[in-house]
Structure formats: structure tokens, C-alpha cells
A and B are shown apart, each in its own frame.
Chain A
Amino acid sequence: MAYKVKLDMFEGPFDLLVYLIENSEMNIYDIQVALITKQYLEHIEKIKALDVAVATEFMVLAAVLIEIKSKMLLPRFKPEGELGFEDDPRAELVEKILEYKKFKQAAELLDRQEEYNQSIFEKPKEDLTRYTREPDEYLNLDINQFAVAFTLFLNKKKRVEEIKKNYSRVERQKLSIEDKIKQIFKFIKEKAHKKITFNELLGEDDGKYEKIVTFMSVLEMIRLRAIHVNQTITFGDITISMNEEKRRGSHDK
């Protein structure tokens, strides 16, 4: 777990690098690349043991460090009149480190600002409907007008009640296809030769809704291969018989 703490400390490859340079009290413009690279790679090994995905993020900079290290071994020629550091293979890295450090410090500044601002409280916007709600409406009527209006209202209420007395609300029983299928099965089974016509399924009082449900049920049963259907003449009656094979099949299961 000790490693985990360390891992959390470094927010990225530059964070680690800056830490290593500062820790070894090196001048940022004269980084001892060999030493830093060694320490950096050691850290990566530790990180790798914990989380390969995170470690890969550190690899690019490791490669850069190694490249710089190898360049440092080569003899360098300074062209006349040019500044020394421009020729330094470390220059680019130093620039990036400085850039990163600037933002790291800006982050610290934000951190302090955030801490301070947490001691300041603001009020969330309150519910203002108490003030913005529609005002109450008042009727501008004298007592006689009001009395007339009230009588009218009472009369109307009385009439409505009288009408209501003579009528009662009737709910129609709605039939589902599932129920109808069960009914049809029962109906066919009761018949001697297991053969019926579609008209037999329809009752005399059946309305449009019941007729449609019955027809839909028959269609559904055809789909399920529960029945055989036959119609000899166009618009003629439909004969329905059980599909015995299917029934036996389903019973075997």
C-alpha cells in the first residue's frame, strides 16, 4: 500500500520528473540526465508493479530521457556566436519542465483560492413565487347580482342531480383474446365431432367488439396451429376443427 501513496503523489510524468529534480537539488538548467533517468526508471518499475496502464503514460518521457542521455554522451560542437543552451540536448526538456512547473504553481494558487472561497457562503436563489404568483381575483358584484348567480348555480346543480338519478353508469365487460380462446376450446370439445362453424361461436347479442375479438381469437389459434380452418365458398361459413396432431404434441410435452 505504501506504493499506492507514492503513485497518488505524482499526477503525471512531469510531476514525477520535477519531484526528482527538486529532490536531488539539481539546477534545472544543468540536469544530470544519467542520474535522473536512472531514478525515473526506478519509479516506473514501481508503478508498473501496480498499474501497467498508468506506467505506460510515463514511458514516453522515459524514452525522451534516454534519448537525451545518449545525446549527452556524444561530443557537441557549438557553432560560433550561438548561445550555449540552444545546443544543449536538454534544452527542450527544460522548456517543457518549466512550462509544466508554471501551471503546477498556478494549480497551487487555485487550490489556495478554493480553500479561501470555501469560507464564503452564498445564498441559493430562493423560491420567489410568493412574490410573483398571480394575484387573487375578486369578483366585482353587488349582493343582488351575487344572489342571482347563486340561485342559478343551485338550480343547475338540482337539474343535474335529477338527471343523474334516472341514469346509472354501466360498464361493459371487455373480453380479452386470451379468454375467448379458452372459451372456443371448451366449445369445440363439447361438440361431438369436434367441428364447428364460425357462426356458432357468435352469440346473438354480440356487438362489433365481441365479433372482432372472436375473429381475432380464431386468427390467433390458426397462428398457434391449434385449429384447422376451412371455407368452401367465398363469404360462406367457416368450419373450424381441432388440430389433433398439435394438441397431442403439446400434451406430450
Chain B
Amino acid sequence: MTSKKTIKSAFESMMFVWGEPLDVRVAAELFNINWKDAYDYFIELKEEYEQEGRGLQIRETNKNFQFVTNADNVEYIERLCTPVKEKRLTQQALEVLAIIAYKQPVTKGEIESIRGIKCDRVIEGLTKKDLIVEVGRSNGIGRPILYGTTDSFLRHFGFTTIKELPDIEDIAGAMNLDDLEEIVETGQLAIEF
């Protein structure tokens, strides 16, 4: 059995070479170890880089690990190579994405009823950007397509898993609605029915 130190060191090298997110299960297979152990090693590595405040950090997306730069260094990287900034998503796109992220799997009809406006074009655009994907069909009338978010979505917004999204009621809580929370909850129930 290869020592933990060797495996961790190997994982580090593998991430460097691979560039793209490296699947924990793939990495674990190479050493014939349990993927949960491999996952722990990756997390340890990730924490080590964080604690030392290295210029490289390890980012996790859905049990995939990848080397990325430290966000604090953005200014210097831009000085070095003036990277072209990706175009930001529009307000519309973000709204639709937020609804899909929180309510997935969700149909276009549900999204449109929350926003009160048609979303075909936005959904098309988000699909093209690989941020959302068709995840199946609802059993409702006409069997409408259900949408969900992708790993690209997680990466784009820096979430480890979809569970990491802050609780939607907490975001609302920031709006001084504390005393009315009960009513909000009632409203939520009514919609779910």
C-alpha cells in the first residue's frame, strides 16, 4: 500500500498535469483506494494550500478538484497578460438561473410564472453556455422539459456542490423581513401545493 504522503503528492502532480477538474474516483482508482479516502486527501491538500495562502488554490466542484489561481492575485495576473474578461451574465439570465438553481428540476412554465415573462431565449442562451441542461421531462400535461444546473454552473459561480447555495430564505432574511417570516413560509407552502 502506497503511503498517504506519496498519494497526496501524486494527486498534486496529477492535478497540475490534468488542468481540468480531476475526478476523485478516477484518481482513487489509480491507487486502488477507496474514493472517500482519496477525497479526504484532496481536501487535506486543499486546506494546506488555503492555510499557506498560496498563489495556487485547489477548487472543488462536485468531487472534482482543480488548481486555480488565488483570487487575491487577479490584479497581478491582469498586469501580466491582460486576460479578456468573460462577458457577465445579464440580469434576466441571472434571474432565470437563480430559479433553476433553487427549484431544479423545474419546467419553463414554472420559471415563467415566477418571473411573469417569457424566458425561451434566456433558457436557450444558458443551455448554450452549458450552465443549464435538460434533466428529463415532467409528468405534467405535455410532458414539459425539466431543467437543472450543470457542473459548469458550479464552477462558474464557485460553488462546490449545489447544496452549498445559501438557503433562499436566508437571502430573504437579509431584507428585514424577520418579523414576517411566518407569512413567507405560509406563502411558500401555498405555492408548493
Which residues of A are at the interface with B, using a C-beta cutoff of 8 A? 11-14, 29, 57, 60-61, 85, 94-96, 98-111, 113-126, 128, 131
9 pairs, A vs B, C-beta closer than 8 Å = A85-B183, A102-B171, A103-B98, A106-B99, A106-B171, A111-B89, A117-B158, A125-B19, A126-B19
User: Which of B66, B71, B155 makes the CB contact (< 8 A) with A119?
Assistant: B71
Does B10 count as interface, using CB distance less than 8 angstroms? no
Docked-complex contact B157 and A95, CB < 8 angstroms: no
Number of interface residues of B (CB under 8 A): 54
Docked-complex contact B19 and A11, CB < 8 angstroms: no
Residues of A within 8 A of B57 (CB): 120
Distance to closest chain B CB from A56 (angstroms): 10
Taking CB as reference atom, which chain A residue is nearest B184?
A98
Residues of B within 8 A of A60 (CB): 116
Docked-complex contact A110 and B98, CB < 8 angstroms: yes
Give B145-170 as 1s and 0s: 1 = Cβ < 8 Å from A's Cβ atoms: 00000000001111100000110110
User: Which of A14, A29, A119, A121 makes the CB contact (< 8 A) with B115?
Assistant: A14
Distance to closest chain B CB from A170 (angstroms): 57
Docked-complex contact A102 and B172, CB < 8 angstroms: yes
Does B77 count as interface, using CB distance less than 8 angstroms? yes
Distance to closest chain A CB from B82 (angstroms): 12
Known: A14-B116, A106-B101. A98 touches B187 (CB 8 A): yes
Docked-complex contact B116 and A61, CB < 8 angstroms: yes
Distance to closest chain B CB from A43 (angstroms): 14
Taking CB as reference atom, which chain A residue is nearest B16?
A123
Distance to closest chain B CB from A250 (angstroms): 55
Known: A107-B91, A122-B67, A123-B67. A114 touches B171 (CB 8 A): no
Docked-complex contact A12 and B116, CB < 8 angstroms: yes
Docked-complex contact B67 and A117, CB < 8 angstroms: no
Distance to closest chain A CB from B101 (angstroms): 7
Complex alpha-carbon distance, A104 and B86, angstroms: 22
Does B85 count as interface, using CB distance less than 8 angstroms? yes
Complex alpha-carbon distance, A103 and B96, angstroms: 8
Give B58-89 as 1s and 0s: 1 = Cβ < 8 Å from A's Cβ atoms: 01000000111111101001000001011011
Residues of B within 8 A of A12 (CB): 92, 95, 115-117
Considering the complex, which residues of chain B in the window 80-123 have a beta carbon less than 8 Å from any beta carbon of chain A?
A: 83, 85-86, 88-89, 91-92, 94-95, 97-99, 101-102, 114-118
